[in-house]
Copies of this chain bind each other. A is one copy, B any other.
Amino acid sequence: MSDLVTRLRRHNWRITPQRRVIAETLEGSHVHFTAEQILERAVERMPELSRATVYNTLNEMVALGEVLELTFDGRSKRYDPNADHEHHHLICEGCGLMKDVHAMADPVDWLPGDERHGFTVTRASIAYRGLCPECQAAS
């Protein structure tokens, strides 16, 4: 019983076998998988699982606010089960490696009122970029 499944259950959202496998595949990892990677892994446990269900399910979990959708490169979206812990990301520009990081301040507090253009600002995420140790050595 994964923590993500527990959180999903609270939204009286039907936990079908397919949805459970997808959620457990996401939760089991400490990385940020693409939809295709999730399909690839989930299919090992449920071979008849379809691509459409993976995409539908991920989109629903994002809509419920229990999974984050990350789009740092222009390539595939990545899915992050860690939606209940505020955090940011550190991305290697060499190899794409992505780490969770925690900043010392909430960036929303650093946006002055006259820079808000009348918006209601609900959240902010920081993308830190640099080179990981391996890519530093390689260059």
What string of 1s and 0s marks CB contacts (under 8 Å) between A51-79 and chain B? 00000000000000000010111101100
A–B pairs, 18, beta carbons within 8 Å: A71-B71, A93-B122, A99-B119, A101-B111, A101-B115, A101-B116, A103-B110, A105-B110, A111-B128, A117-B133, A119-B128, A120-B130, A120-B131, A121-B128, A121-B130, A123-B129, A124-B126, A125-B127
Query: What is the total number of residues of chain A having a CB less than 8 Å from a CB of chain B?
Result: 41
Complex contact B127–A99 (CB within 8 A): no
| Complex Cα spacing A133 to B116, Å | 10
Chain B residues, Cβ within 8 Å of A31: none
When A74-B77, A107-B107, A111-B101 are in contact, do A126 and B125 touch as well, CB less than 8 Å?
yes
Which residues 63-114 in A have Cβ within 8 Å of B in the complex?
69, 71-74, 76-77, 90, 92-93, 99, 101-105, 107-108, 110-112
